[in-house]
Each structure stands twice: as structure tokens, then as C-alpha cells.
Amino acid sequence: MKKTILFPVMLLTIFAASYVCAQPILPNVVGKDMSWAQQELRKLGYPVRISYAYGPKRESHLKVVAQGPPGGRKVPTTVVVGLTVYQYKPPYPILPNVVGQDFNEAGKTLSMRGYRVKYFYHQTPNQELNNKVRDQIPRGGQGVPQTQIITLNVWQYKAGSSDQVTVPGVAGLHLVNALDRLNKARLRYQLVGVKEPTDPKQQGTVFSQDPAAGASVSTGSVIKMVMFRDSLPVPNVVGMRFDQALKAIEQAGYKPPQFNPAAIRTPANIYIKVVSQNPPAGQKLPYGSVVSFDIKNFSKMPNVTGISYEQAKAAITALGGAAVSAIEITYTPTSNPSQRNKVYEQYPLPGAEVDRGFGPIYSFPRPKLKVYKP
């Protein structure tokens, strides 16, 4: 009679049971600060992947708004924990156009929008223009942060005042000094061109003016100026899409880094964003300096809840690049026939920005779908 040897099988069963018991409980870090959440997860041995969601809520800045897998269950430490982090993006309000309004009404309109107002007064012999806003800086109709002071130039009637003024010479002056001189002469200005400087000393100065210095014009006339491009602060391009970052850097008078054309050609549903830059935003460099930055590929996760598993798989696969890693499915029984084979939960979340890495092979976090049983 043969004896059955169970010892190896028992060892294997005990080992498997001990492995399951050793798996830690994944903490729920939704609502926590990003840095704290990363630290806690890494203490337990979990690798962490971050994606960002943007919005106007300042109080939610850098808070975790979603995680996958969800917390509160046993999860092996080999699983990458994905965190979606909220990033505050201030929405600048549209500055109203108050030119031609009574200065009291104009100031009230701007104050109600949260702006502070500074007034400058200019004499005019035309009584109909008295107390009317001649012009405003910045111009209305554009997004302007509420921390910026709005300058209103206001007409003030004075009987017998001359309607003619002599145009001051502003060529060679820095733009700030040129505008101050024109304001004192009760004249307006218009920038009609920008010229590239050949000497750093020319940066931000007026190249030419029309009418020329010494001409006699009416108060409120427009002096057209061409200026040399100034050295502006390095713009913050982190988080911008690639084409927007190039435009912002060039508009500030700097040069972007050179990239291999093959590295920046992506499928239509994959876009490139800047993830870091050097030097940091706010610094001033000589005109034409190179501002370098690092880029990565991203996709928006489609919403596949409420559709069949086959449709969801097709939508995820259509994101392009290399083959998407196998989808992890968890099936749930249902007594409702209309729910069968439908996705009711997904990770990454709908609309989440998914880091696709960099290069011609586009990585993708393993999608997780919860599906009602067919």
C-alpha cells in the first residue's frame, strides 16, 4: 500500500497563507497632503505614481483627491499606488472696459470686481469730457489678476486751458520713463512694433516715436512708439503643454531648448507637457538666453463607466502608443439584467491625466475596471 506524502503540500499551503496575512492594509490617503501621503505609502513599501487634476479651489491645493487601488484592503507592496493630486490654478477674471465712463462709476465697477484703482488727471478745455475716463491700464477685456492695480487716466475740465501740447522726446528712454513723460504731457501711447536689441543697454527702451519730439498736437493724442524688446522675467512653463511653453518662452525674449523632432511627434490622443524647467520662473536673464525644460507625454483617461467591457477595452486601447498592459478586472454579481457586463468603477479615474513617460514607447499604468458579471 502506497503512502501519500502531504508534507510539501502543507508547507506550500502554510507559506501561501502566511504571504496573504503578511500583506499590509493599504491606507486611505484621499484628502491628505501629497507629501504626507507619499511618505506614508513609501514607508509601507508601496511605489507611488502621481497624476494631477487642475481647478480653482485654493484650499485643495496639493491634496489627494483619488487613489487606486482604494484604501482599507490588503494590497501587495508590489502594486503601484496611483494618486490623483489637486493643483490650484487661479482663474483670472476679465477686466471690464471702463473707458468713456464717469470716473466715479468706473472706480465703483472695478472695486466691486476686487481691483484697486489709481487715478491720474489730465486737463482739457472740453467740458463734455470732464471726469470721463480717457484710458485705462491694463486694457479691458482681458484676464487680469485682482492683485494688479488698475490705472485710470481721467479728463478734468479747466476753462481756458490749451488744447495743444508739445510732444516730448521719448526715444532712448526706458518704456516706464517714456510713459511717465507722456502722461505728464497729457498724451496717450500705442506700441506699434518691437525691435530686437543689438546691445543689452537697449533692452526695454524706445527705438522711435511718431509724431517726433517738438511737434504740436492736441491733448489726448496718441504717440506711436517702436521699442526694443525688454528682458522679461522667465515665465513659469511647468504644467504647460509643449507648444504653449515654446510660445511663452519666445514671447519673453528667450530661446527654448532643442529637441529631437522624433521625440515630440506623438499620436493625436497623446500630448506633451513640461514637468520641470531651468532656470526657475521669475529670474531675469540676458535677452536670447536658453530656458531649458523637461517634458513628458500625457493622456486623458476616458470615461468608460456605464458601457460594456468590450467598449471600455477598445476605448483604453485607442489611447495609442505601445500595447496597453492587461486590464485588471474585478467581477461583481448583479440581479439586474441591464447591468450585466457593464463597467461601474474604473481606475485611473475619468479625466485623470495619465503620465505616459517619455520616448517613442508610451507607458501606461495598468487599468483596473470593476464590471458586473455577464
Same domain, 193 and 218: yes
Predicted local distance difference test score (pLDDT) of residue 7: 47
In terms of residue numbers, what domain contains 195?
166-229
Question: In whole angstroms, what is the distance from residue 138 CA to residue 135 CA?
Answer: 9
Assigned domain for 189 exists = yes
Predicted local distance difference test score (pLDDT) of residue 358: 63
Assigned domain for 66 exists = yes
Predicted local distance difference test score (pLDDT) of residue 226: 93
Quote the cell numbers at residue 312. 471600455
- Give the list of residues 6+ apart from residue 276 with CB closer than 8 angstroms, or none: 238, 293, 294
- pLDDT digit string (tens) for 106-116? 999 999 988 99
Same domain, 154 and 110: yes
Residue 270 has pLDDT above 70, yes or no: yes
Domain end point (choices 273, 299, 325)? 299
At 351, is the pLDDT very low, low, confident or very high (cuts 50, 70, 90)?
confident
Q: Are 289 and 255 in contact (CB under 8 A)?
A: yes
Residue 14 has pLDDT above 50, yes or no: no
**CATH number of domain containing 151:** 3.30.10.20
Assigned domain for 8 exists = no
Same domain, 173 and 225: yes
- Give the list of residues 6+ apart from residue 65 with CB closer than 8 angstroms, or none: 30, 31, 53, 84, 85, 86
Question: In whole angstroms, what is the distance from residue 29 CA to residue 18 CA?
Answer: 26
pTM of the model: 0.41
Question: In whole angstroms, what is the distance from residue 250 CA to residue 242 CA?
Answer: 13
Q: What is the DSSP track for 148-166? A: SEEEEEEEEE-TT--SEEE
Assigned domain for 366 exists = yes
- pLDDT digit string (tens) for 303-327? 999 999 999 888 887 776 544 557 8
Question: In whole angstroms, what is the distance from residue 240 CA to residue 293 CA?
Answer: 11
